[in-house]
Amino acid sequence: MIELIPAIDIIDGKCVRLSQGDYNSKKIYNENPLEVAKEFEANGIRRLHVVDLDGAASHHIVNYRVLDMIASRTSLIIDFGGGIKTDEDMLIAFENGAQMVTLGSVAVKNPDLFKKWLHQYGAEKIILGADAKDKRIAVSGWMEDSSLELIPFLHDYTKEGIYKVLCTDISKDGMLQGPSIALYKEIMKEFPEMHLIASGGVSCLQDLIALEEAGIPAVVFGKALYEGRITMKDLNRFM
């Protein structure tokens, strides 16, 4: 059974969504992310992906108070990403209730620090964020492209012990046009033991079914829920 992980993206303490990572496309869905998290929990969801979009575009975590509020008032298992650049940021994330962190930019820009954290905290707590555009890694809230190719990038880190990977196809994210199933199948064929978390493009219940049928272990999705294209009732079949 595919693991369902709704996303709460945060700007200025509010629950928002972007399209293709474009901050100018911001749409606010709820002023209070805790309300959203509680609704997920009430409907049987157990996992949550929280993204500090202010942090992703900055040099440090910004919205840690929102993380603390959700973690302290729900029993959801939270992975948190966005703005984690230093040892202090890592401590802030874990001290405010994250059970796991998703790290992308630092894995590209400071691999030694990433590997230090991987050995310090363990692969159970570290999710590699592999955000790709045309199979090349993008960083800093997707505002910078890198020259790194996706599959070799994943090879480098699986050799270090990484097995949880959140892969977002940036071209699909927030567009409600369907996920990159061919890309995820390619990754799973190359790394059959990987706990791959697909992200980007989920538009309807059928997309979730297709990902499950393709053998993808987990999926992060948000906009389709917020826009009412997928209902909480739809998700019961996966519970």
Catalytic residues: 9, 131
CA distance 93 to 132: 24
Eight-class DSSP state of 2: P
Eight-class DSSP state of 27: E
The CA–CA distances, whole Å, from 33 to 7, 126, 221 equal 10, 23, 15
Contacts of residue 199, defined as CB under 8 A and 6 or more positions apart, other chains included, come to 7, 166, 167, 168, 169, 173, 219, 220, 221
Q: Which helix (H) or strand (E) holds 189?
A: helix 181-190
Instruction: Give me the DSSP letters along 39-100.
Output: HHHHTT--EEEEEEHHHHTSSS---HHHHHHHHHH---EEEEESS--SHHHHHHHHHTT-SE
CA distance 161 to 119: 9
Q: What are phi and psi of 105, to 5 degrees?
A: -55, -45
Task: Give the 3-state secondary structure of residue 129.
Answer: strand
